[in-house]
A and B are shown apart, each in its own frame.
Chain A
Amino acid sequence: MSIPIPFPQGVTSLLKCTWTLELKTPLVIRASTSASIRNKSRVQKKGRDKQYDFRWEEPIDEKEWAAVRDFNYEFQAIENEDNGRKDEFKLKLQARYSIPGSSIRGALRQWTIRTLVKDDEMRLFSLPKLVTGESIEKAERMTKARKAVEDPENRWHDILSLFGIAYDLNPGVNDPFIWGGRLEMGTVALPKQEYMPEDYRYDKSDEGKKVNVIAPKNIKQNLKTRSPLDRVTMAARSGGLHSGLEMSEGQMLNIEFRILNPKPNDLKIIKLWKRDIDAGFIRFGGLTSQGRGKVKIERDSYSLFAVCKTPLGKAIGELGKEEIAEEFAGIWTGAELDFATVFSKNIMDTLNVVHLPS
C-alpha cells in the first residue's frame, strides 16, 4: 500500500481524449459582472413585450436599465483594423465568451467522488466546519485520510491519483497530502462564429462609448428571465425578477484532456463519465438544478502514447494503427483509437503493468 503520488518513475504513457459535446440544454457559466437590458416598451406596466436594448456594461441608470448576469468571458488582443489612423494601437481588445476548463474538471471530479466514494467516507478530505471553540481530532482525521488514500481498493486512491490533492489539516505534525493530478484539462474550444442575438438588439445610443463594439458575440445565446412567485399572493415576488445570459442548446464545444500514465481504473472512470454525461447526471456550469448544462458526447477520439519499450508501447505497436508520434520515433509510439479499443482487455492488461522500460 502506498500513496498514489504520480510519476515516481517519470511519465511513460499518455492518453489524450478529445470530446465534441453538443449542448442539449442551455449552459450557464456566470461572469462576475452584469450587462444591462432595457425594454423598449418600458412605459407599459404589464404584459411581456420582449423588445430589449442591450448594453455590454453594468446598468448606468437602474430606473431604466436592468442588470442581466453575463456569461463568462475573456479578452483577446486582436489586430486593430484602424491601426493606420493616428493615435490608434496595432492591437485592440475584443471580448469572447469562454468556458474555463476548470468548470468541466470540477463537474467531473465532483461526480466521480459522489458516484464512487462510499457515503461514510465522503467527507474524509473535506475541511472541518469553522466553529469557534470546537476541537477537532486533526491527527485522527489525517490518519483516516491516509489509510483511505493508501488503499488501492478504496476509490479515494484512484480519484486523488487522477485529480490530485492539497490537504494539510495538521501542518507540522502530520505529513500533508499534496500532489498534482494526472489529469490535465485543456481549454474548451468554441466554434469560431459570430452570432446576432435573437433576444435583444445592441443599443445604438451606445456608439460613443463603444462598449457594444467589443461585446462578445461568439456564442448563440438566449436571455433567461426568472420571476419567483410569492407564496402568499402567488404574484411575482417584489425584487425577485432577475435575468441572465445562457449559451443556447444545440451548439457544439470541444474539450481536450490528457491523462498521464493512465491506469485501468482511469479508463473505467472515463467510461462512467461517458455514460453519465449522456444520461444527464453529469452537467456543467450553473443552474443545473433547473436543467441547465446537459450535454451529449457527439464524437470522442482517443490518442494513446507510450514509451516504445514499455509493455504498453509494444501493445500499441501490435494494434497496427497509423503512427502518430513520428517526431519521437524510436522513443515514443502513439495511435489514434476508439474507446472500445482503448478499453479492450489487451490495453487494460498492459496498463496494469508498471510502465518502466524493459
Chain B
Amino acid sequence: MSHNPNPFDFVPFDENGPQLKSLEEWMSYGPLRTGRIAVEMKVLTPVHIVGEQPMSGNNIQESRFFKRGDKHYISASSIRGALRAFIEAACNGWVLQLTPYYQKEKKKQTYGFKVVDSETPKNAKISKFLSSSCSIDQRFCVPPSAEQGIDLASFLFGYIPGKPVDKNQFNPAWKGRIIIDDAEVSSSQLSPLYDANHYKVPDLNNQDAFMGGPHPSASSWWYQFPKEIRRDQYGVYKFIGLGFRGRKFYFHQDPVNCIKYYNESSDWNKNSDGKDKLYFFPIECIDQNESVSFDIFFDSIPEQLLYILFFALEPGKKIRHKLGYGKAYGYGSIEFSMREVVYQDKGFVEPEAADLNAIRMSIGKQLSLFDSKDTGSIAQFLHRASLDVLSFILWYESSFKAIFSYPCAGEGGFNVDLDKQKRKEYNGILKTVIENTLRLNGVKVSNGNPGDSISLDKGEKISSNPFLFRYKPTLHFEVYQANSTLDKKIKAKRKFSYL
C-alpha cells in the first residue's frame, strides 16, 4: 500500500561538525561592502503571515493576515528567519534555534531527552531523561563564547553567545551586518477571507493540539535515528531514537490540491469516536502571482560573503524559499529577485548601482567549478551534500503533481487513534509482528533498561519489513518516505544546479 510522502524532510547534519571561522578570518574574504539590495518577492503559492486568530472553543475561526496599525506586513523577522535558516543549512552552520530539552510528560512524552546540554536546567530531573547524551551533536549548538569561531550565518546576521558556564564570565556578542525591512502588503493583494474559493487550512477538530504539531519523540524513529529497542515491564516494545535527523524544510506543493486531499480522504474523515477529525478555517493570504518589495541593507560585509547573501536570495535554477503559515499544506512558496544592488563606498561619495547580471554570472561561474577548492569561489562556504538535499526538498515546479500530506492518526498512519476494540486487536498483532521481525533480523531484546543498541542499517532494515511496515508505517521516517508515492527518480533529478 502506497501513501503520500510526508510534507517535510530533513537536511542532515555533517558528522564533522559545523563550518566555523574566527571573526578575523571571516573579515578577510574581500573588501568590505556596504549598500542596499532592492528585493522583489513574488508569491508562487498563497502566503499567509499569522495575525489575529479569533477562537471558537478549541477551533480557530479564521486567521487574519498580520497587521500593524492599519497596514499589513510580512514582518522582517519572517524574511530574515527564512534566509538565515537557509544559509545555516547551505553553509553547514550552527542550529540557531533549538528547544533545549523535552521532559517526560504524561500522555505526551514517554521519555524526556536533552537537546542543548548547557541549557538544560541543573535542577531538571536528569533521571527522567532517556540518556545523558543529547539529541544533537553539541558542536552545532550556539556556544557560550566565540573562541572556536562562529558560523557564516552568525557572522552575517549576528551572534548572541549561549549561556556561559561561569556566571562571571562575559562573552561579547557580534552585531549582525544585515538589516531587513518589513515588506508592506496592500489590502488589494489579499484574498478575501470568505468567498467561494477562499484559502483554508485543516486543523484537528476541537482539540488542543495543532494538526501536524511536531512531536520529536524519543520513542520512535521519526525525528530521531534508531538507537535501541526496549521491552517494558508490560511487554510492550519501545523503539528508542536518539539524534535528530537534521534541519526541517517543507516541500513545495499546490495548496488547493493538498487541501482537497485532506477534505476528501477517508483517512482524515472521522475519528474513532465517529466525530469529524478535521475542520477547515479560512486564512487571509497574499494571492498567487502578486509581488511585494522590501529592502535589505548590508553594512561592511566582505565581498565574498555578500555573494552568499545574493546566492541565498537567488539560490539557483529551481530552489525557492517558503515563508509563513501553512507550509505543510503548500502555502508560502515564494521567489526573491534582486531588482537593484547599490554599493556605498567610503567617503563623501554618491552610491553606485552594481551590475546585477555581472553578479549573477559571477556566482554561476564560481559554482560551475564547485569542487575546485578555488579560494576565490563562494563554493568554499557551501556544503555540497546539504545543498543537494535542500535542492531536493525546495525544488519548485509550476505544475505540481505530487501531494504531500501528514500520515493520519489512525490506520495506515500513526495508528494512535483507534477505537478500543481495534486497538486491542492491533496491539496483539503488532506484538507478534515485531517479535517475528526482530527474530528474522537476529535481534534479541531483553526486558528492562537500557535496551540493545541498534545500528542505523539494522534499524532501517527492521522498519522496512513489510509486515511491520503495514502495522507501524510511521516507525522510521526515511522508510516511510521511501515507501511513499514520491517518484524515486525525483531525488536524482533534483540535484543542486545553479544554472
Residues of A within 8 A of B (CB): 25-26, 41, 44-50, 114-119, 155, 198, 222, 226, 228-235, 237-240, 248-250, 268, 271-272, 276, 279-281, 283, 288-291, 294
Whether the Cβ atoms of B60 and A47 lie closer than 8 Å is yes
Residues of B within 8 A of A232 (CB): 10, 95, 98, 136, 216, 223, 244, 246-248
Partner-contacting stretch, out of B47-55, B253-261, B418-426:
B47-55
Can you list 29 A-B contacts with CB-CB less than 8 angstroms, sorted by A residue number?
Answer: A25-B182, A26-B68, A45-B58, A48-B53, A49-B54, A115-B344, A116-B346, A116-B347, A118-B346, A119-B32, A226-B77, A228-B97, A229-B85, A230-B98, A230-B99, A231-B97, A231-B98, A232-B136, A232-B216, A235-B213, A238-B99, A239-B100, A248-B68, A249-B69, A271-B348, A289-B179, A290-B75, A290-B76, A291-B181
Residue of A116, A238, A239 with highest tally of chain B CB at under 10 A = A238
A116-B347, A268-B348, A280-B297 known; A288 vs B52 contact (CB < 8 Å): no
Whether the Cβ atoms of A280 and B52 lie closer than 8 Å is no
Q: B210 contacts the other chain (Cβ, under 8 Å)?
A: yes
Distance between Cα atoms of A249 and B176 in the complex (Å): 23
Closest residue of chain A to B294 (Cβ to Cβ) is A291
Whether the Cβ atoms of B36 and A279 lie closer than 8 Å is yes
Residues of B within 8 A of A119 (CB): 31-32, 300, 346
Whether the Cβ atoms of A238 and B214 lie closer than 8 Å is no
A48-B50, A248-B69 known; A231 vs B88 contact (CB < 8 Å): yes
Closest-CB distance, A265 to chain B (whole angstroms): 9
Closest-CB distance, A14 to chain B (whole angstroms): 23
Whether the Cβ atoms of A48 and B69 lie closer than 8 Å is no
Whether the Cβ atoms of B97 and A229 lie closer than 8 Å is yes
Residues of A within 8 A of B51 (CB): 48
Whether the Cβ atoms of B214 and A235 lie closer than 8 Å is yes
Whether the Cβ atoms of B223 and A114 lie closer than 8 Å is no
Q: B202 contacts the other chain (Cβ, under 8 Å)?
A: no
| B 71-90 contacts with A by CB, 8 A | 75-77, 80-81, 85, 88
5 additional A-B pairs beyond A50-B52, A233-B223, A289-B158, beta carbons within 8 Å, are: A116-B348, A228-B97, A233-B99, A271-B348, A279-B36
Distance between Cα atoms of A48 and B32 in the complex (Å): 43
Distance between Cα atoms of A55 and B126 in the complex (Å): 37
Residue of B55, B88, B176, B295 with highest tally of chain A CB at under 10 A = B55
Q: Mark B87-130, 1 if CB is under 8 A from A, else 0.
A: 01000000111111000000000000000000000000000000
Residue of B178, B210, B347 with highest tally of chain A CB at under 10 A = B347
Residues of A within 8 A of B10 (CB): 232
Distance between Cα atoms of A291 and B68 in the complex (Å): 14
Distance between Cα atoms of A288 and B77 in the complex (Å): 11
Residues of B within 8 A of A276 (CB): 344
Closest-CB distance, A109 to chain B (whole angstroms): 15
Residues of A within 8 A of B36 (CB): 279-281
Whether the Cβ atoms of B216 and A233 lie closer than 8 Å is yes
Distance between Cα atoms of A14 and B58 in the complex (Å): 66
Distance between Cα atoms of A118 and B31 in the complex (Å): 11
Residues of B within 8 A of A (CB): 8, 10, 31-32, 34, 36, 50-55, 58, 60, 68-69, 75-77, 80-81, 85, 88, 95-100, 136, 157-158, 176, 178-182, 208-210, 213-214, 216, 223, 244, 246-248, 250, 295, 297, 299-300, 327, 344, 346-348, 351
Residues of B within 8 A of A114 (CB): 34, 299-300
Distance between Cα atoms of A26 and B88 in the complex (Å): 28
Residues of A within 8 A of B244 (CB): 232
A41-B55, A49-B55, A232-B246 known; A237 vs B295 contact (CB < 8 Å): no
Distance between Cα atoms of A259 and B147 in the complex (Å): 42
Residues of B within 8 A of A235 (CB): 213-214
Residues of A within 8 A of B85 (CB): 229, 231
A48-B52, A229-B97, A290-B77 known; A280 vs B214 contact (CB < 8 Å): no
Distance between Cα atoms of A155 and B348 in the complex (Å): 11
Closest residue of chain A to B85 (Cβ to Cβ) is A231
Residues of B within 8 A of A283 (CB): 179
Whether the Cβ atoms of A250 and B69 lie closer than 8 Å is yes
Residues of A within 8 A of B178 (CB): 289
Closest-CB distance, A141 to chain B (whole angstroms): 17
Residues of B within 8 A of A250 (CB): 69
Partner of B55, one of A47, A226, A230: A47
Closest residue of chain B to A48 (Cβ to Cβ) is B53
Whether the Cβ atoms of A237 and B157 lie closer than 8 Å is no
Closest residue of chain A to B94 (Cβ to Cβ) is A231
Residues of B within 8 A of A115 (CB): 34, 344, 346-347
Closest residue of chain B to A118 (Cβ to Cβ) is B346
Whether the Cβ atoms of A280 and B181 lie closer than 8 Å is yes
Closest residue of chain A to B89 (Cβ to Cβ) is A231
Whether the Cβ atoms of A234 and B31 lie closer than 8 Å is no
Closest-CB distance, A356 to chain B (whole angstroms): 28
Partner of B52, one of A49, A116, A237: A49
Whether the Cβ atoms of A291 and B179 lie closer than 8 Å is yes
Closest-CB distance, A122 to chain B (whole angstroms): 8
Closest-CB distance, B376 to chain A (whole angstroms): 19
Closest residue of chain B to A234 (Cβ to Cβ) is B248
Closest-CB distance, B303 to chain A (whole angstroms): 12
Closest-CB distance, B94 to chain A (whole angstroms): 9
Distance between Cα atoms of A280 and B297 in the complex (Å): 8
Residues of A within 8 A of B180 (CB): 289-291
Closest residue of chain A to B213 (Cβ to Cβ) is A235
Residues of A within 8 A of B297 (CB): 280-281
Residues of B within 8 A of A289 (CB): 80, 157-158, 176, 178-180
Whether the Cβ atoms of A231 and B248 lie closer than 8 Å is yes
Whether the Cβ atoms of A46 and B58 lie closer than 8 Å is yes
Distance between Cα atoms of A238 and B99 in the complex (Å): 5
Distance between Cα atoms of A44 and B54 in the complex (Å): 11
Whether the Cβ atoms of B179 and A288 lie closer than 8 Å is yes
Closest 4 CB pairs of A and B: A233-B214, A238-B99, A291-B181, A291-B76
Residues of A within 8 A of B216 (CB): 232-233
Residues of B within 8 A of A294 (CB): 181
Distance between Cα atoms of A71 and B75 in the complex (Å): 20
Distance between Cα atoms of A241 and B346 in the complex (Å): 39
Closest-CB distance, A73 to chain B (whole angstroms): 21
